[in-house]
Amino acid sequence: MDNSGAVRETTTTTTETTTYDVIVIGGGVMGSSTAYQTAQHGAKTLLLEQFDFLHHRGSSHGESRTTRAAYPEDYYAPLVLESNALWPRAEAEVGYKVRYPARQLDMGPSESTILRALISSCVKHSLAYRLMDGPKVQDEFLGRIQIPSNWAAIYTDHGGVVKPTKAVSMFQALASRNGAILRDNTEVTEVNSLGGGNGGVLVVTANGEVFCGKKCVVTVGAWTKKLVKSVSGVEIPIQPLETAVHYWRIKEGYKGDYVLAGDEGFPTFASFDDPLIYGTPSFEFPGLIKVTMHGGQKCDPDARTWGPVSVAAVREWIEARFSGRVDSMGPVTGLRWHLLWGGCWPIWR
Ligand SMILES: Cc1cc2nc3c(=O)[nH]c(=O)nc-3n(C[C@H](O)[C@H](O)[C@H](O)COP(=O)(O)OP(=O)(O)OC[C@H]3O[C@@H](n4cnc5c(N)ncnc54)[C@H](O)[C@@H]3O)c2cc1C
């Protein structure tokens, strides 16, 4: 693309004779699942990743991510419902599980426009939901979680927890099994149009290799701004954020209260106040629960600070919500995932 957004034409020659139907740039969960899907549909697919596969410098690593159909943005529900049918198919093909069903509990001040939007989305997509006030939350969860008297909570089905690193690994294994070529340590620096009316692109890498593709899918997360700038000179308004995910100790006698166990277990949750706090019961670290703050500090994805993140607001939230059953003194040290936000998840205000 040039500065006007048009894709630049090129006269570069390829170092490889293969023409791929699809070249996918970026081997996080988006790129790896794309490569699986295109390869499975018979497209000759190449997946290029700048770092080692399953590295810890992007967004798609770690042990848990919440999935749920009930979002304030109503375009998510049909996508999530469709993906809920697709996860088990991929799991059956690979032979292990990466997604575990759970319910979702959203909460916040009763007048919150976000909660209202969430209910509208449930109504629009016929998703069953239960609207609860403080006493109803108390009855339903028997003190495991509580909300202030001027708050409301919405309890929905169709959610779950995905194990991200395992999911990326699964998609890469399945992409490869379906004939895709996977290359890591291959940074893409240019994407040039072949022109001539038939489309097609030449993808150039930092080590001088050139790959020819009929189509190209770019899934580079927090590096999107950098790649678009290097390819086209255009500066797009995406600001990567660096954040950290924390785990907190459940006190003795209450460990069984916060277990992920499908519809019977404790739900995944989000609290739409300022700041937005969310979490999941943790099966990766028994006796701990993941509770963390949405958002983070502005960063350059190639010059990270890996700095400490304030947990004061999360401590307060834990103290008030979990009836003293979770230790709010501080998160478990040494168990902290540093991740990047690349603009793929909504920033709720
Ligand atoms: C703390 C945190 C919590 C989250 N929680 C949830 C949640 O609960 N539920 C949910 O649905 N989502 C959640 N998300 C969002 C979700 O994790 C992301 O939307 C998802 O992982 C994005 O995947 P991706 O493949 O787009 O990006 P990434 O995983 O960052 O992958 C991009 C890849 O592109 C590669 N790349 C970049 N530039 C180049 C280049 N020039 N050449 C080749 N390769 C390149 C990178 O190295 C990287 O591997 C969360 C995100 C964060 C940070």
Q: Read off the CATH number of the domain in which 285 is found.
A: 3.30.9.10
With beta carbons less than 8 A apart as the criterion, state whether 33 and 82 touch: no
264, 324: one domain: yes
Residue 337, pLDDT score: 66
139, 247: one domain: yes
- Last-in-domain residue among 216, 232, 248: 232
Does pLDDT of 119 surpass 70? Answer: yes
Q: Is the backbone of residue 17 left (phi > 0), alpha (psi -120 to 50) or beta? A: alpha
70 within some domain = no
Ligand 1 pocket, 243 CB below 6 A? Answer: yes
pLDDT in tens, 32-71: 999 999 999 999 999 999 999 999 999 999 999 999 999 9
244, 132: one domain: yes
Q: Is 71 helix (H, G, I), strand (E, B) or coil?
A: coil
174 within some domain = yes
The runs of H, that is alpha helices, within 95-163 are 113-124, 134-141
Which has more pLDDT, 130 or 296?
130
Distance 26 CA to ligand 1 centre (A): 9
Q: Whose CA is nearest to atom 4 of ligand 1?
A: 65
- Last-in-domain residue among 201, 232, 263: 232
Residue written as tokens 């088990």?
A: 88
184, 200: one domain: yes
CA distances from 303 to 40, 52, 57, 299 (A): 36, 18, 11, 7
Could you give the CA distance from residue 77 to residue 168 in angstroms, rounded to a whole number? 22
Does pLDDT of 137 surpass 50? Answer: yes
Interacting residues of 270 by C-beta distance below 8 A, sequence separation 6+? 66, 104, 105, 106, 107, 276, 277, 278
Could you give the CA distance from residue 220 to residue 38 in angstroms, rounded to a whole number? 17
pLDDT in tens, 221-247: 999 999 999 888 999 998 999 988 999
Could you give the CA distance from residue 108 to residue 111 in angstroms, rounded to a whole number? 8
Distance 232 CA to ligand 1 centre (A): 22
Q: What total number of domains does the chain contain?
A: 2
332, 246: one domain: yes
- Band (pLDDT 50/70/90 cuts) for residue 336 is low
3 within some domain = no
Length in residues, the chain = 349
257 within some domain = yes
96 within some domain = no
Q: What is the mean pLDDT of residues 301-306?
A: 89
Does pLDDT of 333 surpass 80? Answer: no
* Amino acid occupying residue 317: W
Residue 347, pLDDT score: 42
Ligand 1 pocket, 285 CB below 6 A? Answer: no
280, 322: one domain: yes
CATH code, 225: 3.50.50.60
Residue 194, pLDDT score: 86
Q: What is the mean pLDDT of residues 288-303?
A: 92
pTM of the model: 0.93
Sign of the dihedral defined by the CA atoms of residues 111, 117, 119, 120, in that order: positive
122, 189: one domain: no
140, 212: one domain: no
Best of 209, 223, 225 for a ligand 1 pocket test (most atoms within 8 Å of beta carbon): 223
Distance 299 CA to ligand 1 centre (A): 15
CA distances from 46 to 20, 65, 100, 178, 205 (A): 7, 27, 30, 12, 13
Does pLDDT of 202 surpass 60? Answer: yes
Least confident of 220-224, 276-280, 295-299, 318-322: 295-299
266 within some domain = yes
110 within some domain = yes
250, 333: one domain: yes
Domain that holds residue 182: 19-58+166-232
304, 184: one domain: no
- Last-in-domain residue among 192, 207, 232: 232
52, 192: one domain: yes
Q: What is the mean pLDDT of residues 173-198?
A: 92
Distance 28 CA to ligand 1 centre (A): 6
199, 223: one domain: yes
Output the average pLDDT for the chain: 91
Q: Is 346 helix (H, G, I), strand (E, B) or coil?
A: coil
